[in-house]
């Protein structure tokens, strides 16, 4: 059940919450050293650049009236020198900060990936993959600049502002007050749009997440889309999501544009006032032409950091919307994890006990209720029954992919909730319904079951499941590259490869969920022979709809009505003439 569909917006915190930034400081602190160096370089570069108007004032008021050509050349060279040094310092700083930004991204992304690897099945059941991907890839990218350059720039811009104000007041205090006069108007505008702006950026992150989720779903389901010729319909859905995204983006940008627009107009206003007041109201003896020139240059320079700070503020607001999502993912509880002081599960013999197990995916909706059974070490168990009865759920619980809602599952008398997940799962061979193939060679894919397996072991496992023949038919044999999800392979070939992968680990408990459903009857018969040998002495749980494949199992459990409705050997169940008998005879009739 999709509880968080692609077109359902995720919940967001309404007020701006500084806690997300405080938390991000953990990542920033690791970059303290390069950030301090970059900061010093930037401060130097800004300080040098600030001397330019003073040089200009000196040239206009002193050097030119004195017709001092030599002085003019030296001052021009000095001006050029300030530019060159500023550029060099800025280039070094930008290199350092690019590295810092990438290191921050690397750290956040590594933490996210590590956490995602640990999150239980339930987490992935509940949300579209696209919404997870966008957090790890796009959101992390989006916050990197703010967390690296953004912080430094903010401090620099504030310092810059103080410096400029100091220089300005040193030149002319009255005209400086005039320049500051625009500030209250600007602060008023910012306060007015603050909340709307934050909401607008939250909406952008929501809609881009929805669009990504749908895109991901559409790509995964492209075959079904084309089979049912739903391309036009899907295009419509995608267009709707894109239009939603565009409109929230436009709204967010509207607020962004409002800021430089206000700053531009205020700069023009204060510069005009300087000319007006300087030239008309004050005496030329007090305010020289050089002073007016320097002050109008400072006016533009004073408003530039204000504009930059406002832009940074926009970026911070934007980044907080993304940080919320990133930290939400990092805070997602790992509900299936080792309990404190979890023990190592000793080498498994293979007894499996369900002790009054109740399980619900969604609270209150029990899929299994008070389930009790005991499987001896080495016994082979078939789980059969109608679709949706709970067979996969039973095997998922044995491997503790979900926690039981009530009751206990014991392996050799050890409650699986008390042992480490690694010691539990590493001793089990689990083949899920979805025989997932990773990109890489066939050899790599089989080796996934046991990373230190030798080539001989891998080939032996492939031979047992009758995969060796078809693998060798490929031009590059075991070294054949396969695509993600194994799109170059047939369904049956994929199943055989993942079967070999499961067997490679030589597990004491083997779980096969529809392991042979896509394999042709002849290969299956061959495979069955090898498998019978292999299953000897191991506990196995085999889920199969084709009953002919499991009739030789020691015990068959018919799963229905939230539990085991019938259990016994094939002959016993046939003699009972119950549900298993009906199912088996129906399948036999169909086969005739
Ligand atoms: N992740 C999930 N979240 C909520 N409900 C689920 C989830 N997975 C399965 N279910 C429900 O639990 C019930 C048992 O599902 P399960 O996959 O165990 O059945 P099954 O017997 O293996 O079916 P099949 O033979 O079709 O594979 C079904 O009603 C299904 O809708």
Neighbours of 129 (CB within 10 A): 13
| CATH T-level fold of 19-331 | ABC transporter transmembrane region fold (1.20.1560)
- State the Cα–Cα distance between residues 339 and 421, nearest whole angstrom: 10
Q: Separation of 1 CA from ligand 1 center, angstroms?
A: 10
Q: Residue of the nearest CA to atom 17 in ligand 1?
A: 392
Apex 76 CA angle, 72 and 79, nearest 5: 140
240: nearest Cα among 216, 210, 199: 210
CB 516 within 8 A of CB 544: yes
Q: Residue of the nearest CA to atom 10 in ligand 1?
A: 361
Size of the chain in residues: 592
DSSP string, 527-592: HHHHHHHHHTTSEEEEE-SSGGGTTTSSEEEEEETTEEEEEE-HHHHHHHTSHHHHHHHHHHHHH-
* pTM: predicted TM-score of the whole model, two decimal places: 0.75
Q: Separation of 401 CA from ligand 1 center, angstroms?
A: 14
Q: Is 280 in the pocket of ligand 1 (CB under 6 A)?
A: no
H or E stretch at 274? helix 231-276
Q: Kindly tell me the number of DSSP H helices and DSSP E strands found in the chain.
A: 21, 12
Same topology, domains 19-331 and 378-384+421-591? Answer is no
- Give the start-to-end residue ranges of the domains of the chain: 19-331, 378-384+421-591
Domain 378-384+421-591: homologous superfamily in CATH: P-loop containing nucleotide triphosphate hydrolases (3.40.50.300)
Pick from 392, 515, 550 the residue to mutate for probing ligand 1's pocket: most ligand atoms within 8 Å of its CB: 392
Where does 221-230 have alpha helices with state H? Answer: 222-227
Percent of the residues in the chain that have a pLDDT greater than 90, as a whole number: 31
Q: Is 93 in the pocket of ligand 1 (CB under 6 A)?
A: no
H or E stretch at 86? helix 69-118
Q: Separation of 468 CA from ligand 1 center, angstroms?
A: 33
Q: Separation of 206 CA from ligand 1 center, angstroms?
A: 30
Q: Is 544 in the pocket of ligand 1 (CB under 6 A)?
A: no
339 burial (CB, 10 Å; 0-12 / 13-18 / 19+) is exposed
CB 513 within 8 A of CB 499: no
CB 410 within 8 A of CB 352: yes
DSSP state of 411: E
- End-to-end Cα spacing for the chain: 37
pLDDT single digits (tens) 89-121: 888 988 898 888 889 989 999 999 999 999 998
Instruction: Enter the tokens of residue 165.
Output: 């104000």
- State the Cα–Cα distance between residues 444 and 438, nearest whole angstrom: 9
- State the Cα–Cα distance between residues 529 and 524, nearest whole angstrom: 9
Pick from 4, 366, 391 the residue to mutate for probing ligand 1's pocket: most ligand atoms within 8 Å of its CB: 391
Q: Is 126 in the pocket of ligand 1 (CB under 6 A)?
A: no
> Could you list the pLDDT tens digit for every one of the 592 residues in the chain?
344 566 677 666 555 567 777 888 889 899 999 989 988 888 888 778 777 777 888 888 888 888 888 888 998 898 888 888 888 988 898 889 888 888 998 999 999 999 999 999 888 888 888 888 888 888 888 888 888 878 878 887 888 788 888 888 888 888 888 888 888 888 888 888 888 888 888 888 889 888 988 998 898 888 888 888 889 999 999 999 999 999 999 998 888 888 888 888 888 888 888 888 877 766 666 778 788 888 888 888 888 888 888 888 878 877 887 888 888 899 999 989 999 999 999 999 999 999 999 999 999 899 999 999 999 999 999 999 988 999 999 999 999 999 999 999 999 999 999 999 999 998 888 888 777 888 889 999 999 878 888 999 999 989 988 889 889 999 899 999 887 766 678 878 888 888 888 888 888 899 988 877 767 777 777 677 667 766 777 899 999 888 877 888 999 999 999 999 999 999 999 999 999 999 889 887 776 6
- State the Cα–Cα distance between residues 262 and 181, nearest whole angstrom: 14
Supply the mean pLDDT for the chain.
86
353: nearest Cα among 539, 214, 175, 211: 539
pLDDT single digits (tens) 191-225: 888 888 888 888 888 898 889 889 988 988 888 88
H or E stretch at 198? helix 183-220
pLDDT single digits (tens) 43-54: 888 778 777 777
């Amino acid at each position: 059940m999709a509880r968080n569909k692609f077109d359902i917006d995720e919940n967001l915190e309404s007020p701006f919450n500084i806690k997300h930034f405080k938390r991000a400081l953990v990542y920033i602190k690791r970059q303290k050293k390069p950030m301090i160096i970059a900061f010093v370089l930037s401060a130097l570069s800004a300080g040098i650049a600030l001397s330019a108007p003073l040089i200009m004032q000196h040239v206009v008021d002193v050097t030119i009236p004195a017709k001092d050509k030599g002085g003019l050349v030296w001052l021009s060279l000095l001006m050029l020198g300030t530019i060159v040094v500023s550029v060099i310092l800025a280039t070094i700083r930008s290199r350092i900060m690019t590295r810092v930004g990438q290191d921050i991204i690397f750290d956040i992304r590594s933490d996210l990936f590590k956490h995602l690897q640990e999150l239980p099945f339930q987490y992935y059941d509940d949300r579209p993959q696209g919404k997870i991907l966008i957090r790890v890839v796009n959101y992390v990218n989006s916050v990197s600049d703010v967390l690296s350059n953004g912080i430094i720039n903010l401090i620099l811009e504030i310092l810059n502002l103080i410096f400029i104000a100091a220089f300005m007041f040193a030149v002319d205090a009255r005209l400086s007050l005039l320049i500051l006069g625009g500030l209250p108007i600007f602060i008023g505008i910012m306060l007015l749009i603050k909340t709307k702006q934050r909401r607008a950026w939250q909406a952008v992150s929501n809609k881009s997440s929805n669009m990504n989720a749908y895109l991901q779903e559409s790509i995964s389901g492209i075959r079904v889309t084309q089979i049912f010729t739903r391309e036009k319909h899907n295009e419509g859905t995608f267009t709707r999501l894109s239009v939603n995204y565009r409109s929230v983006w436009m709204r967010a940008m509207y607020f962004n544009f409002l800021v430089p627009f206000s700053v531009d107009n205020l700069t023009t206003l204060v510069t005009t006032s300087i000319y007006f007041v300087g030239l008309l109201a004050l005496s030329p003896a007090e305010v020289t032409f050089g002073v007016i020139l320097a002050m109008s240059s400072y006016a533009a320079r004073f408003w530039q950091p204000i504009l930059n700070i406002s832009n940074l503020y926009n970026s911070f607001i934007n980044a907080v919307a993304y940080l919320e999502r990133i930290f939400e993912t990092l805070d997602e509880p790992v509900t299936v994890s080792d309990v404190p002081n979890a023990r190592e599960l000793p080498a498994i013999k293979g007894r499996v006990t369900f002790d009054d197990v109740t399980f619900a995916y969604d609270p209150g909706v029990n899929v299994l209720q008070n389930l009790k059974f005991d499987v001896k070490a080495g016994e082979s168990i078939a789980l059969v029954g109608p679709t949706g009865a709970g067979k996969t759920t039973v095997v998922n619980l044995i491997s503790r992919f979900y926690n039981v809602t009530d009751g206990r599952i014991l392996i050799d008398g050890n409650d699986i909730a008390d042992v480490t997940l690694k010691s539990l799962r590493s001793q089990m061979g689990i083949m899920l319904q979805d025989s997932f193939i990773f990109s890489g060679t066939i050899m790599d894919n089989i080796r996934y079951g046991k990373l230190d397996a030798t080539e001989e072991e891998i080939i032996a496992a492939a031979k047992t499941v009758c995969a060796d023949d078809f693998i060798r038919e490929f031009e590059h044999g075991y070294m054949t590259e396969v695509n993600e999800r194994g799109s170059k392979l047939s369904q049956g070939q994929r199943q055989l490869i993942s079967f070999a992968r499961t067997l490679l680990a030589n597990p004491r408990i083997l779980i096969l969920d529809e392991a042979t459903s896509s394999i042709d009857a002849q290969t299956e018969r061959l495979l069955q022979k090898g498998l019978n040998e292999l299953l000897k002495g191991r506990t196995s749980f085999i889920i199969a709809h084709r009953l002919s494949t499991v009739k030789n199992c020691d015990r068959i459990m018919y799963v229905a009505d939230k539990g085991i409705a019938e259990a016994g050997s094939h002959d016993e169940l046939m003699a009972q003439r119950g549900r298993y008998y009906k199912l088996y005879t129906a399948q036999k009739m169909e086969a005739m």
